Chains A and B, each alone.
Chain A
Amino acid sequence: MIKSIDQVFVNAKHWLLSWLAGWPNWATQVVSSLINILALLAVFLTLFALLSVLERKILARIQNRYGPNRVGPFGLFQPIADGIKMLIKEDIVPVRADKIVHFLAPVLIAAVAILTLGVIPYGRNMAPFTIDCGILFFFAVGSATELAVFMAGWGSNNKFSMLGAMRAIAQMISYELPLIITVLPVVMVVGSLTADRIVAAQGNYTYGLIPRWFAFTPWGMAAFILFFISGLVESNRTPFDVPEGESEIVAGHMTEYSGFKYATFFMAEYLGMFAISGLAVTLFLGGWHAPAHALEFIPSYVWFFAKLSALLFVYVWVRGTLPRTRIDQMMNFAWKFMLPMAFTCIVAAAVWHYAGRGLRGWLWSLLVIAIVYNGLSILLDTKRKFAPRVYRFAE
């Protein structure tokens, strides 16, 4: 019974495919892929609509106000109203813009975001498609985002757009390094680039109690935090949303977009956020595994989406709490702190592996992380004291 609830979506797909019994092999494959794609889009576009209203609600709660509460019960129909508004808005294309590139940029950025969602296992036997190097696929396809952002900035033929695009690409390239390097220890320890194998490696419980998620080892915890910060940057979220800092450059690369194209950018940003959080869950938080042996009767996909929701809540929480950083602060942070720490994670994972993956390895890798962290904080301390701000004016 428990098993059948866990596999209900997989069985539903098999049942649908059983209707095509007489069809040639390639047709069945195409239909099977189409079912996966439709399910993926349905789930994540619903999640996008839900999160867009929940985010405004949570931000409102943090800022001590009500938030959207006019449309439907508790303002839950707000995304529908927003969608209709976006659809019937005028779609303005600047006269001097490069029409084709201007049009293709939002298409490409949304396509990339949807493709990266495809390799994450959402439950037992529930990865939309499995390839030998799924993690590499995620980053290879995700790297096309930079090109899309550039197309948006250049195609708009607007200085704010171009500035925003250059900022976005600068920060994406800088933070892609720690993002990928923090994935390496997990790949090294598991010995595979397949998302399914990485999830399977985190399946057991130490002493039958503590789940063997990589986030519970010192190197895993450090890598998870670094990965999460890089993920914030990659999805252009506060406090790292300098590409669209509205007080400086209007809306960055999205300045000249309106109506549904703007909504597509917005959607791609959220889908990218889901993808990077989903990958974080897969790599460090045990994927769809339950946190305790006694809780395994709850279906695997419920666990996955519970963990995903927790991460998404932290995204919103951070947005409501922290102010925007300056671009030079961000760059310094990436190259002077994130990168050395990411390399340390690799070393710590190796120490953990060779010290026997037990308690001894746990303590040794904690020591490595702690030494490098303290060394970096001493080295990078600029001895700058808090003081009243000095204003300089143009004369």
Chain B
Amino acid sequence: MNGAAFIVIAISTLAAALAAATLRKLMHAALSFAVALVGVAAFFFLLGAEFVGLALVFIYIGAVAVLIVFTILLTRRDTGKDHGFNWAGAIIAVAVFGGLMWAILKTQSLVIVAPHTPALTVKRIGVALMTTYVWPLQCVGLLLTAALIGALILVLEEKQ
């Protein structure tokens, strides 16, 4: 059952990612990117990490995808012009792929049969965030607040 689900999700995620990279219209590419992200979230669900999967959907579909779509809409004319093959992009892609493969193959601690771990509940994540990782959490919070205030200042109406 899990194997079949894995194959179905993997194929649809890869197809969506490929579509995001190759589709001519930018808006279509952005929407297929959103589909690919749903696929990644489905993987987390399959692995039993519901919270991470839901957070991924929440942040990437609810916020990032909408942001990307609006950026495309407000900044450029979608002419559909072909810019030719991008060599720099290809080199970066190959480098990232090679780096990841190297890291995966070099890892010695791959265990085929996962040891039995207690279920990853929201409660445990919350406790970890509030005890072990409280400083990183506070730093992120401060950074986000600063970003929010900065955005507000940018759009403040100038009093005439």
Binds A, one of B10-18, B52-60, B106-114, B131-139: B52-60
Chain B nearest CB from A198 CB (Å) reads: 13
Number of A-B contacts (CB under 8 A): 64
Chain A nearest CB from B59 CB (Å) reads: 9
Binds A, one of B61-69, B86-94, B97-105: B61-69
Chain A interface SS verdict (over half): helix
Q: Contact between B1 and A146 (Cβ–Cβ < 8 Å)?
A: no
Chain A nearest CB from B81 CB (Å) reads: 18
Q: Contact between A146 and B54 (Cβ–Cβ < 8 Å)?
A: no
Q: Which residues of B contact A144 (CB under 8 A)?
A: 57, 61-62
Q: Interface extent on B, as a size class? A: 20 to 34
Chain B nearest CB from A175 CB (Å) reads: 13
Asked if A137 meets B54 with Cβ closer than 8 Å, knowing A151-B31, A154-B27, A193-B122, the reply is yes
Question: Does B95 reach chain A (CB closer than 8 Å)?
Answer: no
Question: Does A136 reach chain B (CB closer than 8 Å)?
Answer: yes
Q: Contact mask A168-180 → B, CB, 8 Å, 1/0?
A: 0100010010000
Q: Contact between A146 and B66 (Cβ–Cβ < 8 Å)?
A: yes
Question: Does A16 reach chain B (CB closer than 8 Å)?
Answer: no
Question: Does A147 reach chain B (CB closer than 8 Å)?
Answer: yes
* A134-173 with Cβ < 8 A to chain B: 136-137, 139-141, 143-144, 146-147, 150-151, 154, 169, 173
Q: Contact between B69 and A147 (Cβ–Cβ < 8 Å)?
A: yes
Q: Contact between B54 and A136 (Cβ–Cβ < 8 Å)?
A: yes
Specify which of B28, B57, B70 is in contact with A141 (CB 8 Å cutoff). B57
Question: Does A107 reach chain B (CB closer than 8 Å)?
Answer: no
Q: Contact between B55 and A140 (Cβ–Cβ < 8 Å)?
A: yes
Asked if A139 meets B58 with Cβ closer than 8 Å, knowing A150-B69, A154-B73, the reply is yes
Chain B nearest CB from A165 CB (Å) reads: 10
| Complex CA distance for A372 and B107, rounded to whole angstroms | 56
Q: Contact between B62 and A131 (Cβ–Cβ < 8 Å)?
A: no
Specify which of A132, A143, A151, A191 is in contact with B62 (CB 8 Å cutoff). A143
Chain B interface SS verdict (over half): helix
Q: Contact between B58 and A143 (Cβ–Cβ < 8 Å)?
A: yes
Q: Contact between B34 and A101 (Cβ–Cβ < 8 Å)?
A: no
Chain B nearest CB from A112 CB (Å) reads: 10
Chain A nearest CB from B159 CB (Å) reads: 15
Chain B nearest CB from A192 CB (Å) reads: 8
Chain A nearest CB from B41 CB (Å) reads: 9
Q: Which residues of A contact B43 (CB under 8 A)?
A: none
Q: Contact between A133 and B58 (Cβ–Cβ < 8 Å)?
A: no
| Complex CA distance for A101 and B70, rounded to whole angstroms | 16
* Residue on A nearest B69 in the bound complex, by CB: A150
Q: Contact between B31 and A143 (Cβ–Cβ < 8 Å)?
A: no
Q: Which residues of A contact B34 (CB under 8 A)?
A: 147
| Complex CA distance for A146 and B65, rounded to whole angstroms | 10
Q: Contact between B1 and A136 (Cβ–Cβ < 8 Å)?
A: no
Q: Contact between B57 and A140 (Cβ–Cβ < 8 Å)?
A: yes
Chain A nearest CB from B157 CB (Å) reads: 12
| Complex CA distance for A101 and B55, rounded to whole angstroms | 26
Q: Which residues of A contact B25 (CB under 8 A)?
A: 98
Chain B nearest CB from A107 CB (Å) reads: 13
| Complex CA distance for A133 and B70, rounded to whole angstroms | 30
Q: Which residues of B contact A133 (CB under 8 A)?
A: 50-51, 54, 122
| Complex CA distance for A192 and B126, rounded to whole angstroms | 11
